Structure 1
Amino acid sequence: MSTQTKSICVADVVLRTLRGRWATHILSVIASHESIHFNELKRVIPGISAKVLTEQLRFLETAGVLGRHATGNSRQEVSYTYTARGHELKHVLDSLSELATRWALS
């Protein structure tokens, strides 16, 4: 084994969750709703394809940030909400948004 240990920044765990061009946008939209259906998400995020939205939602669900819930109606719709982990991440995203606003104004 090498005497050098691989340096890992623990923040990378969170930052990897935000990978992808649309992740923060998706999380921001879901934060402004208590629960939101896939089709509504697609409508309010212009330019995102159904394929990319599906991939991002699956990744965020696997990461434990979002919960996917069947609505139980005959159209087999699903809705997405923040999990407990997602609510923790929301606080971080709120802080990042405040920082971005300050940086944009300077």
Structure 2
Amino acid sequence: MKDETAAGDFIDRVEAIRQQETYLSPLAAGIVVALSMDIASDSRSLAKALGIAHALVLREISLMTGPATLVNIRARDARTQRTHLILSEKGTSILAAITLKT
């Protein structure tokens, strides 16, 4: 039951972020929520937890970094392309805003 509750909480948070930040893809919102819930902290673990290809997570991460970024890259393994992430200040503030509303 605990896993079902966590999954429901994950989905609720993703939907709340997408309602507030309509420009975000479902995957981008999922990455932000997964980082905040300590589900995963790197691209490979995120891909496995979300049940999608690592390449899709890497592509989304590249779209999420840059000006007004939601995540910051902590480290990157050149051989495996595993990318370790942390939430940026903006990502944290988006999460705080949806937490206050729910």
Please state which band the TM-score falls in when normalised by the shorter chain.
0.5 to 0.7
Tell me the distance in 2 between the aligned counterparts of 1:39 and 1:28. Answer: 16
TM-score where L is the length of structure 1: 0.60
Q: Which amino acid aligns with 1:45?
A: L
In structure 1, the partner of 2:42 is 37
Instruction: State the secondary structure of the residue aligned to 1:26.
Output: helix
Aligned equivalents of 2:81, 2:31: Cα separation in 1: 21
Residue in structure 2 matched with residue 3 of structure 1 by the alignment:
none
CA apart distance, 1:58: 1.2
1:15 to 22, 29, 38: 22
The residue aligned with 1:61 is 65
Q: Assess if the C-alpha contact under 8 Å between 1:71 and 1:77 holds in 2.
A: yes
Identity of aligned residues (%): 11
User: Compared with structure 1, are the counterparts of its residues 75 and 58 closer, same or farther at alpha carbon in structure 2 (3 Å cutoff)?
Assistant: closer
Query: What displacement does 1:95 show?
Result: 4.7
What is the total number of aligned residue pairs between the two structures?
82
- Tell me if the contact between 2:69 and 2:91 (Cα under 8 Å) persists in the aligned partners: yes
Deviation at 1:76, TM superposition (A): 6.2
**Structure 2: how far apart are the matches of 1:51 and 1:71?**
14
CA distance in 1, matches of 2:81, 2:36: 23
Q: Structure 1: which 4+ aligned runs deviate by more than 4 Å?
A: none
> Aligned equivalents of 1:35 and 1:69: distance in 2?
13
Q: Does 1:80 align with 2:90?
A: no
1:61 partner amino acid: T
Q: Which consecutive residues of structure 1, in runs of 5 or more, have no partner in the other structure?
A: 1-13, 99-106
In structure 2, the gaps of 5 or more residues are 1-20
Answer whether contact 2:71 2:87 (CA < 8 A) is retained: yes
- 1:53-102 per-residue CA deviation (whole Å, 9 max, x = no partner) reads 11211111224110012167x86643111011111111134356x3xxxx
User: Helix, strand or coil for the counterpart of 2:22?
Assistant: helix
Distance in structure 2 (CA, Å) of the matches to 1:82 and 1:95: 18
- Which of the two has greater helix per residue? 2
